[in-house]
Amino acid sequence: MRTNKIIQLVSAALMAAIICVVTMTLAFPSPIGGYIHPGDGFVILAGVILGPFYGGLAAGIGSMLADLLLGYSAYAIATLLIKGLAALAAALLFRALFKNSNRSFLSLLLSGLLIGFIVTFGYFLYEGSLLGLGFGAASANLPLNLLQNVLGIAISIILFPLLHKVPQIRSLIQIR
């Protein structure tokens, strides 16, 4: 039992590092602040593979580290909460759908759409209110966030079947 918790914790740390690196490698600034990136595909995968708790931690911490290292510290706390919540929600939805249908494509697609809504709406609220840009200016990022969502869903749908073939990764996915 203790060994399993250590494996989950180490896997979450590794996934956080992967999310950080992928996010930073292909980050493109958006017009009013922030940036778009392919890291959301790995946020989905973190939730799906590691589950709601460890996946949420990995997604939130990895994405927040990317913000800090890229100089977007104003977004760091919001990113921790938004991406953590998104991975948690994706994990719960994926597990419910996959358990009932055993179709990873549909389960990933719907989980990705849920993440897309949470991330897009979360940043829209954050930029429009707490960051003080106003909702008109925050709406300028909506098309780029939607593009980022589509890219993230595509990445997760492509990579999940490949990752699911690896016995060590498959053992982390606990559909209940």
Lookup: tokens for 105: 């494509």
In 10 A of CB 26, how many CB atoms? 12
DSSP conformational letter for 166: S
pTM, rounded to two decimals: 0.92
Which residue ranges make up each domain of the chain? 2-172
Task: Using the predicted structure, report yes or no on whether residue 24 has a pLDDT greater than 90.
Answer: yes
Burial class (CB in 10 A: 0-12, 13-18, 19+), 53: middle
| Choice between 104 and 67, residue whose per-residue pLDDT is larger | 67
Write down the pLDDT at residue 30. Answer: 78
Topology given in CATH for the domain delimited by 2-172: Arp2/3 complex 21 kDa subunit ARPC3 (1.10.1760)
Mean residue pLDDT across the chain? 92
Write down the pLDDT at residue 14. Answer: 97
Burial class (CB in 10 A: 0-12, 13-18, 19+), 102: exposed
Write down the pLDDT at residue 160. Answer: 94
